[in-house]
Amino acid sequence: MNHHHTRDLSPNQCSSSLVQTIDAPLALVWSMVRSFNKPQAYKQFIKSCTMQSGDGSIGSVRKIMVVSGLPAETSTERLDWLDDNLHVMIFSIIGGDHRLENYQSTTTVHQEEEEEGGCNLRSLAKIAEKMSVIKAKTSS
């Protein structure tokens, strides 16, 4: 995990990490996270997402409309890296009506055997866990 979440920072930059354990299969969680064109499926603060260019592959650009009450209404984001084998997605915020500058987000998904397992999104955890239970019931 540290390989993708460690970077050199300039003097006026900061970095943080959040780890969330999700009781659901990695493949299910990754299928939700990797969908660059549908972040509202697991990010509760997103009202809608419109692709401005691309099809969800590297280089694609999306415009996010956030729910009211947050300090911004829109965010424009570019998919910089997507690796289905390592389960890594990296995107940069390239515009919007917020104060974020030079912001890049890295999300990785790992098996629980690792010391720091899981994913970093609480709402994704709830949704994936529910889907895992539903899938188990329907395949029984």
Low-confidence ranges of the chain (pLDDT < 70): 1-9, 12-17, 112-140
Query: For the whole model, what pTM was predicted?
Result: 0.72
Helix (H) or strand (E) holding 107: strand 103-108
CB 58 within 8 A of CB 48: no
CB 108 within 8 A of CB 86: yes
Domains contained in the chain, CATH given = 29-135 (3.30.530.20)
